[in-house]
């Protein structure tokens, strides 16, 4: 009897200590707290993208878009961009695990606020529906916040230790529902990002949760066919598929392709090109630890 009680207490302790959750972004009732011309503020923020090739410069972009939301809290473009660049800063430029988690959560909440600007989504959210249920009404307009929500939630889960990932296994089907919605709305969106997301999904999750290296490879091929200049396709294939398969030569080939690309000539946003080139170099520096 005592053994059973101890087991139950341990189960409760692990569950409560390891539960992944947050207050949805739309529950933050932000009010306008600044003055300024939204059009001009947006233009200034977008202009920073042309030279954003470091963590500090990405943070400057985040600050610039936050100035927009300070004036207009429900500005869809600014909210979407904030979710994008908060994800980027966390995934590429942050080494501290705690800080990464904080930025992923901020990205998630801004993405949720952007989704909430859709009237039909707002109705469902106000009824208490979570994102993975309310996304069924979202359209191609909301592809960006859906995508950055998925990427941020997925990396937040992936960044946990193995025990916490196991305790929060139910997040996998939740995130998958969002990915399925994006696939239904526009599967070839943004030069193959959705296929790349499926490829990463199949490579990362264990087999009993749907992992499949063959499907991963097939989806990376589809993504690269749609976006041969999208450097994230190659970095993520190297990190998730080639490492899993133990293919060291393919790993080096993909990453060296990224490093040798001319960022000003390829069809890929400069901040992302600079970020993934840095990540490619970092991964090559860890090759002996990864294989």
Q: What confidence score (pLDDT) does residue 16 get?
A: 44
Q: Is residue 191 pLDDT above 70, yes or no?
A: yes
Is the Cα torsion angle 104, 108, 109, 114 positive or negative in sign?
Answer: positive
Domain count across the chain: 2
Least confident span in 8-17, 32-41, 107-116, 158-167: 8-17
Q: 201 with 179: CB under 8 angstroms?
A: yes
Q: What is the tens place of the pLDDT at every residue in 239-281?
A: 999 999 999 999 999 999 999 999 999 999 999 999 999 999 9
> Is the whole model's pTM more than 0.85, yes or no?
yes
278, 230: one domain = yes
| Type and span of the H or E element at 248 | helix 248-260
105, 164: one domain = yes
156, 200: one domain = no
CATH of the domain at 101: 1.25.40
Higher-pLDDT residue of 49, 156: 49
Q: What whole-number distance in Å separates Cα of residue 175 and Cα of residue 111?
A: 14
CB neighbours of 118 closer than 8 A, spacing ≥ 6? 137, 138, 139, 141, 142
Q: How large a percentage of the chain has pLDDT more than 70?
A: 91
The mean predicted confidence, pLDDT, of the chain is: 90
φ, ψ of residue 124 to 5 degrees: the values are -65, -40
Higher-pLDDT residue of 28, 150: 150
98, 47: one domain = yes
Q: What confidence score (pLDDT) does residue 1 get?
A: 47
pLDDT band for position 21 (50/70/90)? Answer: low
Domain that holds residue 102: 13-25+36-171
CB neighbours of 271 closer than 8 A, spacing ≥ 6? 49, 52, 53, 57, 58, 61, 85, 88
Q: What whole-number distance in Å separates Cα of residue 93 and Cα of residue 89?
A: 5
64, 150: one domain = yes
**Residue 140 falls inside a structural domain:** yes
Dig out the tokens for 284 from the structure: 């090559």
Closest CA to 235 of 286, 283, 288, 290: 283
Looking at residues 55-77, what average pLDDT do you find? 97
Q: What confidence score (pLDDT) does residue 69 get?
A: 96
127, 92: one domain = yes
Number of Cβ within 10 Å of residue 271's Cβ equals 23
102, 194: one domain = no
Looking at residues 5-16, what average pLDDT do you find? 40
- Of the residues 171, 196, 215, the one at which a domain ends: 171
Is the Cα torsion angle 236, 258, 219, 176 positive or negative in sign?
Answer: positive
Burial of 54 (0-12, 13-18, 19+ CB in 10 A): middle
pLDDT band for position 208 (50/70/90)? Answer: confident
83, 42: one domain = yes
**Residue 30 falls inside a structural domain:** no
Q: How large a percentage of the chain has pLDDT more than 90?
A: 77
Looking at residues 51-58, what average pLDDT do you find? 97
Q: Which residue has the tokens 């091929």?
A: 221
161, 210: one domain = no
149, 193: one domain = no
Least confident span in 36-45, 206-215, 240-249, 255-264: 206-215
129 φψ region: left (φ > 0), alpha (ψ -120 to 50), beta (else):
beta
Looking at residues 34-39, what average pLDDT do you find? 87
- Of the residues 147, 171, 195, the one at which a domain ends: 171
Q: What whole-number distance in Å separates Cα of residue 77 and Cα of residue 144?
A: 10
Q: What confidence score (pLDDT) does residue 5 get?
A: 37
């Amino acid at each position: 009897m005592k053994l059973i009680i101890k087991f139950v207490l341990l189960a409760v302790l692990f569950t409560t200590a390891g539960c992944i959750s947050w207050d949805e972004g739309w529950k933050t009732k932000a009010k306008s707290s600044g003055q300024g011309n939204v059009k001009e503020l947006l233009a200034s923020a977008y202009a920073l993208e042309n030279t954003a090739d470091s963590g500090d410069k990405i943070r400057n972009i985040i600050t610039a878009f936050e100035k927009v939301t300070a004036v207009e809290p429900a500005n869809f473009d600014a909210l979407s961009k904030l979710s994008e660049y908060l994800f980027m800063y966390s995934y590429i430029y942050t080494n501290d695990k705690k800080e990464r988690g904080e930025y992923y959560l901020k990205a998630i909440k801004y993405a949720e606020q952007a989704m909430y600007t859709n009237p039909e989504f707002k109705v469902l959210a106000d009824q208490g529906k979570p994102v993975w249920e309310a996304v069924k009404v979202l359209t191609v307009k909301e592809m960006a916040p859906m995508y950055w929500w998925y990427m941020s939630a997925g990396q937040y889960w992936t960044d946990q230790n193995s025990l916490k990932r196991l305790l929060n296994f139910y997040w996998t089907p939740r995130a998958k529902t969002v990915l399925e919605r994006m696939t239904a709305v526009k599967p070839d969106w943004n030069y193959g990002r959705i296929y790349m997301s499926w490829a990463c999904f199949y490579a990362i999750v264990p087999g009993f949760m749907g992992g499949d290296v063959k499907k991963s490879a097939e989806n990376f091929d589809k993504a690269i066919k749609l976006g041969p200049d999208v450097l994230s396709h190659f970095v993520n294939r190297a990190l998730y598929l080639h490492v899993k398969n133990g293919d060291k030569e393919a790993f080096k080939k993909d990453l060296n392709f990224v490093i040798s690309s001319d960022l000003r000539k390829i069809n890929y946003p400069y901040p992302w090109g600079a970020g993934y080139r840095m990540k490619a170099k970092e991964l090559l520096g860890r090759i002996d630890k990864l294989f």
